[in-house]
Amino acid sequence: MSGFVTLGQFIIEKQAEFPYAKGELSRLLRDIGIAAKVVNREINKAGLVNDILGDVGTVNVQGEMQKKLDVYANDHFIGALTSGGECCMVVSEENEEVNHIESPVSKNAKYIVAIDPLDGSSNIDVNVAVGTIFSIYRRKSVEGRPTMEDVLQKGTEQVAAGYIVYGSSTMLVYTTGCGVNGFTLDPSIGEFCLSHPNMKIPKDGTIYSINEGNYKCFPDGVKKYIKYCQEEDPATHRPYTSRYIGSMIADLHRNMIKGGIYIYPTTAHAPQGKLRLVYECNPMAFILEQAGGRATNGYQRILDMEVTELHQRASIFAGSENMVLLAEEYMRQYSPLEKAVLC
């Protein structure tokens, strides 16, 4: 390809690969890209403009203190999806209930979007990378308002998923089930341009990402795997490097490019896991698998997990295929599912 290819151009060119090639999904992805530019602009102002940084003073449905940019990002993504007309329902980390979109332009919309508007928002005040995660499903019901059945679909039913990482540069990475492509925002023209075509995660890596501050309460399988990562063995390039940012998007994006494993296991305080299945684990698992990686909860493929609740929690082992497979072996050996005991 000569010159550069913008996100909009790329989506149009690849439209024939979409499961339902009528243009709606293309426009929906375009709407998400536009909202990402607006959110990126505000994140870049952090520290320069009053009333952007800090807490709102409210707690979201997850029991987490909301940041001002959490609310800002949530409002703008929902606003963009509402005005775009291709989305009939939005599920957000920041809202306890689903958001039905009933504007005239969305009357016949076929898609549902699940979104974490600003992943890792606790990092905002210290100028560390944050991100947005989104997942797109096709509604199952054919008339009336979409129902919870439309939302509670397995990860295998996703028609598209992606993330935006707001870091030293801003990137949008997405898949429609035909590989993974990354686009970097060129601020001089205000467009996402194709920078990482056909992304593939290395089968092996030398980075492990986990919050070791919770080590005491990890399952034995996780503890044993961490010790394996720390042992010296030149043949397997160990000890591995520990890298943990505290933003799932930033950690997994780095591992997507360099190879590595990201683990957020169960603990005594989060026996089902902490991350949300619908709008964090499922979309990232879809992307990773399309890039040649692997994502499980330590025992089961993430995309095959039954979804029973809007804000359902899950543990996750995700990244380079061989690293995740080995971590699963440690879980089966030292923390068998039927006998798993937490501290």
Considering only CA atoms, which of 331, 275, 261 is closest in space to residue 298?
331
Mean pLDDT is highest, among 83-87, 97-101, 127-131, 202-206, for: 202-206
Is the peptide bond preceding residue 239 cis, with omega within 30 degrees of 0?
Answer: yes
pLDDT class for 78, splitting at 50, 70, 90? Answer: very high
Return the H-helix or E-strand segment holding 181.
strand 180-186
- Kind of pairing, strands 87-92 and 111-119? parallel
CATH class belonging to 7-196: alpha beta
As a whole number, the mean pLDDT across the chain is 89
What are the extents of the domains in the chain? Answer: 7-196, 207-339
Whether 339 shows a pLDDT value over 70: the answer reads: no
Q: What is the mean pLDDT of residues 285-309?
A: 97
Q: Is the pLDDT of residue 2 over 60?
A: no
Q: What is the mean pLDDT of residues 39-48?
A: 79
How far are the Cα atoms of 112, 153, 184 from residue 140, in angstroms, in the given order?
Answer: 10, 9, 33
What's residue 81's pLDDT? 94
Measured in whole angstroms, how far is the alpha carbon of residue 55 from the centre of its chain?
Answer: 23
Q: What would the pLDDT profile of 8-21 be if each residue is shown by its tens digit?
A: 899 888 876 665 55
Report the range out of 26-40, 138-152, 286-300 with the highest average pLDDT.
286-300
pTM > 0.85 = yes
For 207-339, the fitting CATH number among 2.130.10.10, 3.40.630.30, 2.30.40.10, 3.40.190.80 is 3.40.190.80
Across residues 26-37, what is the average pLDDT?
92
Q: How confident is the model at residue 1 (pLDDT cuts 50, 70, 90)?
A: very low
pLDDT number for residue 51:
55
Q: Give 238-259 pLDDT, tens digit per residue.
A: 999 999 998 999 999 999 999 9
Residues 217-233 as b/e (b if ≥16 CB within 10 A, e otherwise) read: bbbbbbbbbbebbeeee
Q: How many CB atoms lie within 10 A of CB 104?
A: 6
pLDDT in tens, 126-177: 778 899 999 999 999 887 889 999 999 999 999 999 999 998 899 999 999 9
pLDDT bracket for residue 62 (50, 70, 90)? low
Q: What is the pLDDT of residue 19?
A: 57
Residue type present at position 98 = V
